[in-house]
Structure 1
Amino acid sequence: MASAREVSIDLFLLLLFLFVQHSSSMAEDPVPADWPEQFHSVLFINRSGSLQKTDLWYDWPNGRNFNIIQHQLGVLKYDLEWDNGTSFYYTLQPFDKTCKIIHFEVGILRPDWLHGATYLGQEYVDNFLCNVWEKVDFIWYYEDVLTRRPVKWIFYSGMVAHVMTFEVGAVLEDENWQAPVYCFNETSTALLDSQDASSHGMLMREIPRSSYSN
């Protein structure tokens, strides 16, 4: 027959177990960290076997975002985005200078653009334990549990971006944000086409407006 002391210990352990279970059930799902207001990131991107390296410069205080895109064995392309909805998509090749001006209804992504994303749980991705969120059936976002840095994101199109570096506070000098003069010819303006949409930056601008704008 159990002693009164043993019964008390068993009762204590039962109550402790029930408390832990209740606390776990009451815990809220984690939310993704806001993007830093300024950062530089190197991304390796794969879209159905088409590879590219993108230097992403994000500068929220100055209302600008810059993707410098190197397709595998291709021409270096520049995707310069402003918060007024204008994007300059151009090359700087000496004998092949091209530019398209593309107009969007929205500006660049806000630092809190992931607010409201649906939490999907944890998953090991690229050797990191990540929290995973889905945003409006458009993007799946993976964030390192320990550092809260982004690790990877997948677009609805199947394009996958792997985050290779993430430098918080890094800023690109102002003179590098100026689109070339030939971008301002009347013939430069163009609608977004499928080739442009393969750019990481262009796809990010397609995230539905209601999901990140005031």
Structure 2
Amino acid sequence: MSPLLLLSFLLAGAAAASPSPPPPPPVPPRWPDQYHAVLVTNLTDPGGRLRQIGIYYDWPRGRALNYVRDQLSDDPVVDVQWANGTSFLFDRESCETVQYATGLQPPDWASRAAYLGRETVDGFECHVWSNFYFVRYDVDVATGRPVSWVSVTEAGTRTRRHVLSFEPGAAVMPDDSKFQAPAHCFNRKNADAATA
């Protein structure tokens, strides 16, 4: 066998044996400018209960509305969030105003997230992302819809929220009055806003 032919066989064998480079990570997910989502959180591990959260996200108007209902509760807690970082948490009788250092999450928040790979979550094959908004954000590979996310509470507890439904678009938005904090959020008792 000629040395040239032997060299070509050796090079072909080396090329076949070398591992192919891993595929590039997928394009980070982008939220629609407006959406409605229903999530459930299982708080039973630390002795709590189930919680349902209805989210109305409205980026063009710089606002979000969350209805937080604990298991078997009569009165939901409403969380109105504004783009400037102001958040009003209220029910029929009380209100707490919180000023966060960061405002409403932009739709492209994941463009600055780290891709952690793929994993099966709640029975769905998911791309997994992480950044300072979420410790973990799971997106269905097949549809691009969020499946769950894990965030850290002010107390440092990790909380996983499972997405039951996710509806993009303005058609699902409640009327503007629902995005306003009630008058009792602006009385003297609530005038001193907490900072998170």
TM-score by length of 1: 0.73
Partner residue in 2 for 1:38: 34
Q: Residues 37 and 15 of structure 1: is their aligned pair in 2 closer, same or farther, counting only changes over 3 Å? A: farther
Q: Does 1:65 align with 2:64?
A: yes
**Superposed, which structure 2 residues align to 1:38-57 within 5 Å?**
38-47=34-43, 48=46, 49-57=48-56
Amino acid of the residue matched to residue 81 of structure 2? E
How many residue pairs get aligned? The number is 177
2:41 alignment partner AA: I
3-state DSSP class of the match of 1:159? strand
**CA spacing shift, 1:54–1:138, aligned 2, 3 Å:** closer
Where do 5+ consecutive residues of structure 2 fail to align?
Answer: 1-8
Contact in 1 for aligned 2:82/2:104 (Cα 8 Å): yes
Q: CA RMSD in A?
A: 2.6
1:156-171 correspondence to structure 2 within 5 Å: 156=152, 157-169=157-169, 170-171=172-173
Which residue number corresponds to residue 3 of structure 2? none
How far 1:114 moved relative to its partner? 1.7
User: In the TM superposition, what are the counterparts of 1:40-189 in structure 2 within 5 Å?
Assistant: 40-47=36-43, 48=46, 49-74=48-73, 75-92=75-92, 97-136=93-132, 138-156=134-152, 157-169=157-169, 170-189=172-191
Native 8 Å contact 1:151 1:163 kept in 2: yes
In 2, Cα distance between the equivalents of 1:52 and 1:114?
Answer: 25
Please state how far the C-alpha of 1:40 moved relative to its aligned partner. Answer: 0.1
1:136–1:98 CA distance, 2 compared to 1 (3 A): closer
TM-score (norm 2): 0.79
Q: 1:68 to 1:116 in 2, by over 3 A?
A: same
Percent of pairs identical after alignment? 37
CA contact (8 A) 1:102 1:189 kept: no
How far apart in 1 are the matches of 2:76 and 2:104? 22
- Which stretch shows the higher mean deviation, 175-184 or 55-64? 175-184
